[in-house]
Amino acid sequence: MRKLDPSGSILITGGGGFIGGWMVHEAIKRGFSSIRSVDIKPFDEWYQVHAGAENLIGDLRNPDDCRKAVHGINYVINLAADMGGMGYIEAHRARCMISVLINTNLLCAAKEAGAVRFFYASSACVYNVAKQRDADVTPLKEEDAYPAMPEDGYGWEKLFSERMCRHFREDFGVQTRVARYHNVYGPHGTWFGGREKAPAALCRKVAEAKLSGKHEIEIWGDGGQTRTFMYIDDCVFGTLMLTASDFADPVNIGSAELVTLNQLVDTLESIAGITLRRKYILDAPKGVRGRSSDNTLIQKAFGWEPKISLQEGLEKTYRWIYDQVVAGSQLPKVAKA
């Protein structure tokens, strides 16, 4: 399997965020000698700060900041976006769509700089919502993004940016690669404050219930919504594999292990060793009824798909979030490497 040359320089945008922090960690592990990590947040809000990288604060909605970020770079891994869980993206559609400036300006900068590869992190939110109205959902194939009817706001931004990548490749020769992530979770990510996604939010709620002795949990919706959840290690591996390859079309990177939210809570109860009374908030943001990743294409192209089980991934994620709750953290202390 082809790999990126560690003697080349790599830019990871959103490097202070969840996926970005782990991507920098992996780039260091793979021996990249020149790693640049850029995020809009101040350093004390980064989830991981790595001494083995050049860490910069920049607003990549600004073309000048994009040029500075991409200068001298061979590989661009664009993970930067204004996003969060369903509660956040449904309440901030315009803010999510403004992220189109990040990818557009980065593509222009990459074209000018002659970058060798450009990876764009898209999302399963690009898929036609009409195909996701049943909990017993048919797994989504890549072609199911069209005819277009994505999640309003965030999904449209992702789908538009995918097309931008395609046309920069066709018109300007920028070697773009696009992955559609399906619900990435793991330690060192957002777990409170409104931007957290379902696994992190439920880990926090279970930890709080255990520590408080009030064995009750609120669940958005009726708990019958179905999803697949991908552990961060699989996400990072699949991203770098795709970026190094000659495969140019968008591809799913997601687990095929479909569960309901109730089953997700069942697993967390088992991990925490408690049983919780469940209070269902039926008028809370719920997103689509069912969503699952069809991995036929990635298996055919790469002989690989995400492999880490939900049980294994949740055990690691719950332990980390439990420790944050015990410590009374309002923001996790940055991990340094």
Q: Crossing angle, helix 261-272 and helix 310-327, to 10 degrees?
A: 60
- Residues with catalytic annotation? 154
Model confidence at 89, in pLDDT bands (50, 70, 90)? confident
Mean pLDDT of 59-83: 97
What pLDDT score does 87 carry?
85
For 20-45, letters b (16+ CB in 10 Å) and e give bbbbbbbbbeeebebbbbbbbeeeee
Q: Is the pLDDT of residue 102 over 70?
A: yes
Q: Give pLDDT tens digits for 161-210.
A: 999 999 999 999 999 999 999 999 999 999 998 889 999 999 999 999 99
**How far is it, in rounded angstroms, from Cα 197 to Cα 179?**
19
Mean pLDDT of 316-324: 97
Q: Is the pLDDT of residue 336 over 60?
A: no
Residues 55-60: contacts with CB under 8 Å, at least 24 apart? 55/15, 55/16, 60/13, 60/101, 60/102, 60/105, 60/106
Model confidence at 335, in pLDDT bands (50, 70, 90)? low
Its pTM surpasses 0.85: yes
Fold type of domain 9-182+232-254? Rossmann fold (3.40.50)
* Helix intervals (H) in the chain: 18-29, 63-70, 86-91, 93-97, 100-113, 154-172, 198-212, 232-244, 261-272, 296-302, 310-327
Model confidence at 90, in pLDDT bands (50, 70, 90)? confident
**Pairing of the two strands 34-39 and 54-57:** parallel
Q: What are the residue boundaries of the structural domains of the chain, listed by start?
A: 9-182+232-254
What pLDDT score does 1 carry?
76
**How far is it, in rounded angstroms, from Cα 184 to Cα 238?**
12
Q: What's the alpha-carbon Rg for the chain, to the nearest Å?
A: 19
Q: Is the pLDDT of residue 333 over 60?
A: no
Q: Give pLDDT tens digits for 107-132.
A: 999 999 999 999 999 999 999 999 99
What pLDDT score does 2 carry?
87
Q: Residue written as tokens 């979770």? A: 185
Q: Is the pLDDT of residue 331 over 60?
A: no
Mean pLDDT, the chain, integer = 95
Mean pLDDT of 313-328: 96
What pLDDT score does 328 carry?
83
